[in-house]
Amino acid sequence: MSDLPKRIRILEEGPREGFQIEKGPIPTSRKIDLINSLSETGLEQIQVTSFVSPTAVPQMADAEELVKGFTRKPGVRYTGLWLNDKGLERAIATGKLDIRGSLSLTTSEKFLLRNQRRTHAQNVEAVRGMIAMFKHYNVEVNRASIMAVFGCNFEGDIPTSKVIDIAQQLFDLAEEGGCKIKTLSLADTMAWATPGSIRRVVGAVREKFPEVELSLHLHDTRGMGIANAYAGMEMGVAIFDAAVAGLGGCPFASHKGASGNVCTEDLVFMCDEMGIETGIDLEKLIESALLAEEVVGHPLPGSVKMGGSLAKLRKKVAEEAGKTV
């Protein structure tokens, strides 16, 4: 366990990941309530919305209104997601978001063809276009991510050598464009990872690119999210995407296949109990998680919001014993 980090950074993606899968309309004011609540938890970064086509993702049609409505808390970074020039322009135009550039490639061409109707070669060109776009808007680029790192529903298992190869391509593209990648995010886009593959792939990437900071984006479709995060920490990973209450997932069959990110408060709970700092107040985060459930109007998968923290129980035990904590 010697590689366990002393502190991890959690990047909240709940509002963006979560609301886009919801079928019913959610009032923008309620989304804003959740973002304002999350701002009070100690989270350092919150991804608030996507600037994507309202025809394709109707739940995100209120992106501008939402950004206008929430209250920025000093010290918190508020980010958005975009997939092209138009989205980036919309994000910049809000004048209220922290705009950072990120490059992305995918290990699986079959997934890419299906999901973005592009070949890998076209995707490489798209990255070049992205770099040019970021330059044009004077946006710094220091992050890259690889999708479908641990397996793909359409291509199957992904060899570790392919992940290394794609990472190298991203670093080369960045260098060619005059940027330097500081953080590389490995995304388990289709929830194929288990602790064994996390250790194997993270180990190989870390060995090949020791100077790069690694980050994990873990989907919890098969219940491995927390175990995978733990295995990542054992390999020294100290940055994780997460979603409050497990937003984006749902225990109802009508949302079958809904694959929420690893749950933020469950991750914070594990870290708290293992002496790993997150800077996040778990009790406040549990309040946000309960609010998230209220906002979407159905149960969300996170566990600690129901099970409660141990700090609270310890306090009760101490009070009953006539002591103070």
CB of 58 to a second copy, least distance (A): 24
Query: Considering only CA atoms, which of 214, 155, 142, 164 is closest in space to residue 189?
Result: 155
Please, which residue, 13 or 62, has the CB nearer to a second copy? 13
Please, which residue, 2 or 138, has the CB nearer to a second copy? 2
Distance from C-alpha of 117 to C-alpha of 122, rounded to nearest angstrom: 9
Please, which residue, 101 or 151, has the CB nearer to a second copy? 151
Please, which residue, 178 or 253, has the CB nearer to a second copy? 253
- DSSP result, 5-65: -SB-EEEE-HHHHHHTT-SS---HHHHHHHHHHHHTTT-SEEEEEEE--TTT-GGGTTHHH
Query: Considering only CA atoms, which of 46, 135, 37, 43 is closest in space to residue 97?
Result: 46
CB neighbourhood size of 114 (10 A): 14
Tell me the Cα Rg of the chain.
19
Coil vs helix vs strand at 241: strand
Distance from C-alpha of 57 to C-alpha of 37, rounded to nearest angstrom: 24
| Residue 250 annotated among the catalytic residues of the structure | yes
Distance from C-alpha of 158 to C-alpha of 109, rounded to nearest angstrom: 11
Please, which residue, 205 or 231, has the CB nearer to a second copy? 231
CB of 81 to a second copy, least distance (A): 24
CB of 256 to a second copy, least distance (A): 6
- Residue ranges that bind a second copy, judged by CB under 8 A: 1, 151, 153-157, 191-192, 194-197, 199, 220-224, 226-227, 229-231, 251-253, 256-257, 259, 263, 266, 269-270, 273-275, 299, 301-304, 306-307, 310, 313-314, 317-318
Please, which residue, 62 or 155, has the CB nearer to a second copy? 155
CB of 18 to a second copy, least distance (A): 16
Residue 283 and residue 312 in contact, taking contact as beta carbons nearer than 8 Å: yes
Coil vs helix vs strand at 189: coil
CB of 263 to a second copy, least distance (A): 7
CB of 267 to a second copy, least distance (A): 9
Name the catalytic one among 152, 179, 250, 263: 250
- DSSP result, 77-112: EEEEEESSHHHHHHHHHTS-S---EEEEEES-HHHH
Residues carrying an active site annotation: 250
